[in-house]
Structure 1
């Protein structure tokens, strides 16, 4: 065949006018397709409408005939406490209804002193009254609420199972779901004040303090095995400091809650502090002062903080360590440490509590600490500067705590050379702090594309001014890759669906800190969900995609990469207060804030089914 010069010219012109999408490595593979493609045949057959609903019926979970114990009971553990606890009870504080007219004004911890704690915080637009004032008895979950939703067309195709001891559950925190903030002896925390500075808050939240038995039954009916919650320090010790009275109502409440979890056939996971430091530690500071790093002043840098936290932890552990298998000391401490002194105090306080738990109580459960870090990946993995930026990102966020606690290693140079007042730990300190965690807790909601600042990292470090928004991390964090694509499908806020980055992150954590990894939180706020009608909120396919893709990558990390991931806790079991508003709904249940009614979302069913079908005992 002869081709004319004019024909060749025409082809060249078309090629210049239109870019053709031709992959250089071949189109996507389909490894699940092992048979040769079959030729179709066409035929007629009788037609009929079919409608198949699969119903999961709620059944009562029998109370366990025996409960495993992990530490001595309180009657034996109390002898190990640093201070002799004295218990008492106080009333409730309702603004403009509670008069401080107690006759015990000479008692530094009496009713008048307790009421003054709240009075002196001076909260504006404060509301606390909800629908309930006492614990609500649970009712059976109607089978109509447990009808499986329609499946999404595409789904995971893996054939892996979770290890037999894999921890799967759901998580929440006291400040975000409990409500009852000034009731039954609870003292004020920084959270009430922080949000009150910017907008009125509905302090009722989800009223879990009174509805916990019903909430636990709902979770058990869905097949959840682990329930993670936090205990507010200020509900146990309203005056916060060692030697002050213990709130008997608070002790009794969490005793009942833990027993309710066990009776429902689940296991409790307890966090000792989740952003809700007692107001005592910041009451004399400017709560809105600009931190050296993180978000807010959690009071961790206060000179009384370490001894006070250890005393609080000892009281809680002595009461509940016998029945709780897993403990978290601090939730995401980077965000509230405020400065280097705060982070340093966190590390020392954590180590002391760990030694009390294992060395003094001889407890056999697990204790760890949980961090925030939206994994910093190099924007261009072939660019050495971007790789350096990603390593620095991890050192500042994780190495600060991880080096001494998990490796017995010194603070990273990036920390010592950047943070004001930073100083090395002594050999004695490192020996005491080293290996004081049984798991590395991480909250890997999403990823961050990281590169060097235009002026370079070193110049950024030296430029510690208010105008330098990149200090102290001194890297550029973005949500697009080097080609301008978003790193994943975006949620309402900072969360992008980034499952493959999660797998890479788990590899980094396991191979860097050499400790089993617990995914302590992960979740997804569907864009604009709060403005949708109830049926559309319930059918939350983007959240299902997020959870199932993340869990699929966890399985790959376990089976293909040898990473020891001990569990994953979904955030959150209900739409809650996300430290500022209710618009960002992370929950797997819709919450009607007026009636307090809960509704299961599709993602809850999808996640439970994914895990259940991949358990050896299923």
Structure 2
């Protein structure tokens, strides 16, 4: 598909999706025999050990240690779940739940303390070797994310993701990871949720490094995309033949539903919203350039603001070619859905650029996170949108989950309901709609440091007692549910 299709085409795609099956009937059936199940975590959220064994500081170390804490409960990931010391317990939890794979991230500054390849930290390499070997010894495939938000602080000091020099540093980091771990790791994710990295970290300022700018998110995204392409092409060129692995990227997106599906303006606005969210990063990877509607609107608004050049950078022919087709699979992180209405906006920056307003229905069930309403049918719709927009690529669900608080403890029926209904909609997307989905990854294995929300929101299938120095892990009801789901590989018909 060409990225230069018309707005009429976009509206027709959106209309077809809006009219897609929305039935609420539960589907009793099984996933394909080769379907795989797993859990996910991220290094800063679980490892702790923030300043030991040669690890350098990262931007979240600095962000959480500020005199006026930007974290809602004033906490940090200094200890977190102490998985640096308790990784074998985590592997045992994975084994007991019957997973096929475990998605975890490497800490860039644990391996390269200043982010460059001038100094390699052998103790960091040793830690990840031990974790990878323990997983394989227990029949669990490692799926490794190179970057899950914890940029080395030294690189941030020279501009971080807004400085193009980060691209070469990321390629050097990827080379180290492929070289040391690629003999056993066959599933690589370059970057996790670049939208969150760039918009929440550089636009809204609620994540590290805490910047607020209408321009920085677009510069950040541009360099992140180049970094992804560099890491992908490096593996393709120097490692794929000998190691036989795959490289992809994980993009997050909710589903964006038109408030009035019978109003073409609403349908067009909803399509615009998903193109600004998912298409911002996926279009360059699938088609070599940003979505045309982004180029059109941001260029127009930049000119109206009197800027000398557009806030949205351009790829030259080299980078367009490097990006185009730079995937073996696409990772999707999905949690919730929003309703969309069109709105002419003049506020500069990502939110205003798309001329939309989004909100969530008060009727949708809630979680502990203000942004996360339970809307299972939206999961099916975003997977169908990806199928129709990008030619039905191999899709891995790399995160999906539900938040609660301390009060639920291990009796997390809300999470059980969420996983049941979301995975059933994924089954419908596969069996009824023909979506090419191969893996499902529950977020998360254990309760952990939830970024700006600290420890006030829990996403784990295992309860972690953060008041206990031993960080005791206790299975929740959802762990038992997922264990049965994984073992059944779907939803057996009820016994008569």
Aligned to 1:493: 370
Q: Secondary structure at the match of 1:590?
A: strand
Which deviates further from its counterpart, 205-214 or 336-345? 336-345
1:366 aligns with 2:256: no
1:604 pairs with one of 468, 474, 479: 479
Work out whether residues 281 and 290 of structure 2, in 8 Å CA contact, stay in contact via their aligned partners in 1.
Answer: no
Aligned to 1:234: 109
Cα pair 1:521 1:569 within 8 Å, conserved: yes
Report the CA distance between 1:380 and its aligned residue. 1.3
Does residue 1:171 correspond to 2:43, yes or no? no
Q: Distance in 2 between matches of 1:227 and 1:376?
A: 29
Q: 1:464 aligns with which of 336, 342, 348?
A: 348
CA contact (8 A) 1:195 1:579 kept: no
Q: Aligned partners of 2:238 and 2:157: how far apart in 1?
A: 33
2:157 alignment counterpart: 283
Higher normalized helix content (fraction of residues):
2
* 3-state SS of 1:417 partner: helix
- 2-structure distance, mates of 1:538, 1:323: 34
| Partner residue in 2 for 1:537 | 409
- Report if aligned partners of 2:251, 2:331 keep a CA contact under 8 Å in 1: yes
Aligned equivalent of 2:192: 331
Q: Specify the alignment match of 1:349 in structure 2.
A: 227
How far off its partner does 1:366 sit? Answer: 1.9
Q: 1:425–1:30: structure 2 CA closer, same or farther, 3 Å change rule?
A: closer
Which of 386, 408, 424 pairs up with 1:509? 386
Q: 1:186 pairs with 55, 79, 84, which one?
A: 55
1:377-397 Cα deviation digits (max 9, x unpaired): 111111122112111111211
Q: 1:592 aligns with which of 465, 472, 482?
A: 465
Tell me how far 1:165 sits from its aligned partner.
Answer: 2.1
Query: Do 2:95 and 2:138's aligned partners in 1 also have CA atoms closer than 8 Å?
Result: yes
Contact 1:395 1:415 in 2 (8 A): no
Query: Which structure 1 residue ranges, 5 or more long, are not aligned?
Result: 1-27, 32-156, 286-298
Q: What's the counterpart of residue 5 of structure 2?
A: none
Please name the residue that 1:159 is paired with. Answer: 28
1:395 aligns with 2:275: yes
Q: C-alpha distance in 1, partners of 2:450/2:337?
A: 20
Structure number with greater Rg is 1
Equivalences for 1:256-275 in 2 at 5 Å? 256-275=130-149
**Normalised TM-score (structure 1):** 0.67
Q: 2:439 aligns with which of 556, 567, 586?
A: 567
Where does residue 439 of structure 1 map in the other structure?
A: 329
Counterpart contact for 2:447–2:460, Cα < 8 Å: yes
For residue 386 of structure 1, the aligned residue among 266, 273, 281 is: 266
| Unpaired stretches in structure 2, ≥5 consecutive residues | 1-21, 203-216, 300-309
Whether the 8 Å contact between 1:332 and 1:371 is mirrored in structure 2 is yes
Residues 234 and 272 of structure 1: CA distance in aligned 2, closer, same or farther (over 3 Å) = same
Q: Contact (CA 8 Å) 2:161, 2:220: kept in 1 or not?
A: yes
CA contact (8 A) 1:410 1:430 kept: no
SS in 1 for 2:474: strand
Q: CA deviation at 1:409?
A: 4.4
- 1:616 & 1:166 partners in 2: Cα distance? 14
Maintained 8 Å contact 1:164/1:616 = no
Measured in 1, the distance between the counterparts of 2:115 and 2:290 equals 31
Q: Deviations over 1:429-470 (max 9, x none)?
A: 3222111111121111111111112xx2xxx1x4428xxx94
Deviation sequence 1:355-396 (CA, Å, 0-9, x none)? 111222124222111112222111111112211211111121
CA shift in 2, pair 1:464/1:222, >3 Å: closer
Give the distance between the partners of 1:616 and 1:358, measured in 2 at CA: 38
Alignment of 1:543-562 (within 5 A): 543-562=415-434
Confirm whether residue 476 of structure 1 aligns to residue 353 of structure 2: no
User: Residues 252 and 30 (structure 1 numbering): CA distance in 2 closer, same or farther, change over 3 Å?
Assistant: closer
Please state whether the residue corresponding to 2:340 is helix, strand or coil.
strand
Matched residue, 2:4: none
- The whole-number CA distance in structure 2 between the counterparts of 1:364 and 1:493 is 42
Q: 1:410-444: per-residue Cα shift (whole Å, max 9, x none)?
A: 54332453174323323343222111111121111
Select the structure with the greater relative contact order (CA < 8 A; seq sep ≥ 6): 2
> Any conservation in 2 of the 1:396–1:415 contact (CA below 8 Å)?
no
CA distance in 2, matches of 1:539, 1:506: 30
Contact 2:272 2:293 in 1 (8 A): no
**Which residue, out of 171, 182, 189, partners 1:321?**
182
Once the two structures are superposed, residues 124-167 of structure 1 have per-residue CA deviations (whole angstroms, 9 ceiling, x without a partner) of xxxxxxxxxxxxxxxxxxxxxxxxxxxxxxxxx53321122212
TM-score, normalised to structure 2's length?
0.83
Q: Is the 8 A contact 1:348 1:433 kept in 2?
A: yes
Partner residue in 1 for 2:316: 426
Matches of 1:501 and 1:436 in 2, distance apart? 27
